[in-house]
Amino acid sequence: MTGVNSMGSEIFVAKHGSNLYRSLKELHFEDMPNLEAWPTSSAMDHTDNQLDLSMFPALKIVTVTECPRLRPSPCLPDAVTDLSVSSSSEMLSVGRIVGPSSSASPSLLRRFWIRNCRATSSGWILLRHRPKLEDLVIEYCETLGALPEAIRSLTTLRSLRILNCAALEALPEWLGELLALESLEMSCCPKLVSLSTGLQCLTALEELTISGCSPVLKERCREDTGTDWLKISHIPNVFIS
């Protein structure tokens, strides 16, 4: 439905209930280039009065593909556990509503896959305030020169995969603050030529995979003799190709 630009906030409600879409568990948006807003927390009744209604309380899986303008309004539902965003950069620009006036329930997001999005490293607001996020994949974000600062707060992150990010030049020192990280993979990032010393702090890290990156990085990670070897020598499983 390429011509649709709005889902409309005027979702008619026959009776004043406490929430909408109470049983919906999966929602997929695909190839809707003009769609701009996905209402997620309020609706209109049949008299056009604004209601304070909870929406999508059971929603667990959301995929957004080729919807470059789409943004959840006002935010992604907290019940979502699995989120996939591909070629839909605006999705990354909306964060959680936190503070005294916000819902007391935390975000349940655990797995997040980001592909072919062109937001700047400072614009990944959607990553903020995700206290349960465990698995993050960033793929084909070819304009990303540095990891988003928002990743720094993901203290429960266990797996981080950075794939085909052609502009990525370095890993930040704060990467060492992700103390729950168990698996780190970097693949096809040709400008990445060194590792950060922060990796030495990742005592839970069980597996490091580096493939298709710079030959310079491969040499720096050579066992015993490489400049960066001491940064990763504590990791039980290191795979470099």
Output the pLDDT for position 15. 47
Cα distance between residue 25 and residue 107, in whole Å: 16
Output the pLDDT for position 102. 52
Enumerate the β-bridge partners of residue 112: 83, 136
Return the closest-CA partner of residue 184 out of 225, 195, 119, 169. Answer: 195
Output the pLDDT for position 122. 73
In three-state secondary structure terms, 87 is: coil
Q: Is the dihedral of CA 207, 151, 79, 77 positive or negative?
A: negative
Q: Give CA angle at 176 (169, 161), nearest 5°.
A: 55
Lowest mean pLDDT across 98-102, 154-158, 224-228: 98-102
**How much is the average pLDDT of 76-85?**
96
Amino acid at 92: L
> 34: which 2 tokens?
């003009």
Could you report the per-residue pLDDT of 108-152, keeping only the tens digit for each? 999 999 999 987 767 799 999 999 999 999 999 989 999 999 999
Output the pLDDT for position 21. 86
Integer angstrom CA distances of residue 165 from 32, 106, 148, 149: 25, 31, 13, 16
In three-state secondary structure terms, 25 is: coil
> Who wins on pLDDT, 50 or 114?
114
Domains along the chain?
A: 64-240 (3.80.10.10)
Instruction: Report the side by side order of strands in the sheet with 207-211.
Output: 26-30, 61-65, 82-86, 111-115, 135-139, 159-163, 183-187, 207-211, 237-240
Could you report the per-residue pLDDT of 13-36, keeping only the tens digit for each? 544 456 788 899 999 999 999 999
Report H helices in the chain: 215-220, 229-232
Residue 54 has pLDDT above 50, yes or no: yes
Query: Between β-strands 207-211 and 19-20, what pairing exists: parallel, antiparallel or unpaired?
Result: unpaired
Burial of residue 8 (CB within 10 Å: 0-12, 13-18, 19+) is exposed
